Structure 1
Amino acid sequence: MRKRAKKKHHRQFIFFSASGLIAVIVCIMLNVFPVSADSTHSQTGSVYYTSIEIQPGDTLWNIAEETMTSEYSSVPEYVKVLKEINSLDSDQLEAGQNLIIAYN
């Protein structure tokens, strides 16, 4: 008698586990769980990233002025973002270094 009860509970466990897994897969396929890499830009459109090679004489501020998009309200704000994306502790750049910049 106990073996039947254990089998029944085991089957129920498998049924509900499989049902939950199927539900999660369906939600993922239907994009029910939206994910955004940068929530501050999700309302204004897509943001893309590219890498540029630093040339002699380039500064973080000059690059920010040249590449800043309308998503940012000021050059200092964009410089801060560039430093965050590139894990920079200072504004100093070296020729040959690669820098990731955002664009839309």
Structure 2
Amino acid sequence: MFAYYIYLMQTNVRFRIKQEEFIMKRVYNEKISPRANESLTRREHTVQTQKRVIVLVCVLVIFAVILIGNSIITFAGSRAEQPVHKYYTSVQLQKGDSLWSLADQYAVSDRTSRAQFIDEVCELNGISEDNTLHSGEYLVVSYYSPEIR
């Protein structure tokens, strides 16, 4: 079979197309000087170097965006959390008050559970959960506040 070649001229470089297949073989133009071929080689080297620099810059930009985003998220998370101080106060019991109602009023859900709060109140006041509370009595309870007092 005959092989049909079609030569395409593009900036002094030939590409061959053989029977509907695109052969990516580069053949330099023999009619131009060797200096021109060197110029083509230098130009190709420059283009490859530019491509590498572009890829490197893109990778660095992506890395910087990830790093800055992570820093912003971390900073925002630490900024939202304010220091909270623990204080004690004396509370006079009213009719119908119980340790559980005091826990509902003074226990902070993210610091202590209701059961932990009741255990702490019992320990502070020297009582047990079984003790009967009377209106007019005073109990020491703890609470949390971001303000310094």
TM-score by length of 2: 0.37
CA-atom RMSD in angstroms: 1.5
Question: Which of 1 and 2 has greater Rg?
Answer: 2
Q: Distance in 2 between matches of 1:101 and 1:89?
A: 14
The letter of the residue matching 2:111 is E
1:17 aligns with none
1:64-85: CA deviations, max 9, x gaps?
Answer: 111102320x211111111111
1:67 aligns with 106
For the residue of structure 2 that corresponds to 1:95, the secondary structure is coil
For the residue of structure 1 that corresponds to 2:85, the secondary structure is coil
- Unaligned 5+ segments in structure 2 are 1-82, 145-149
The letter of the residue matching 1:51 is S
**1:46 CA drift (Å):** 2.3
2:137 aligns with 97
- Unaligned 5+ segments in structure 1 are 1-43
> Greater relative contact order (Cα 8 A, min sep 6): structure 1 or 2?
1
Q: Distance in 2 between matches of 1:100 and 1:58?
A: 14
For the residue of structure 2 that corresponds to 1:63, the secondary structure is helix
Aligned pairs (5 A) from 1:19-98: 45-69=84-108, 70-72=110-112, 74-91=113-130, 92-98=132-138
* Structure with the bigger percentage of strand: 2
**1:45 CA drift (Å):** 4.2
Between Structure 1 and Structure 2, how many residues are aligned?
Answer: 60
Once the two structures are aligned, what percentage of the paired residues are identical? Answer: 30
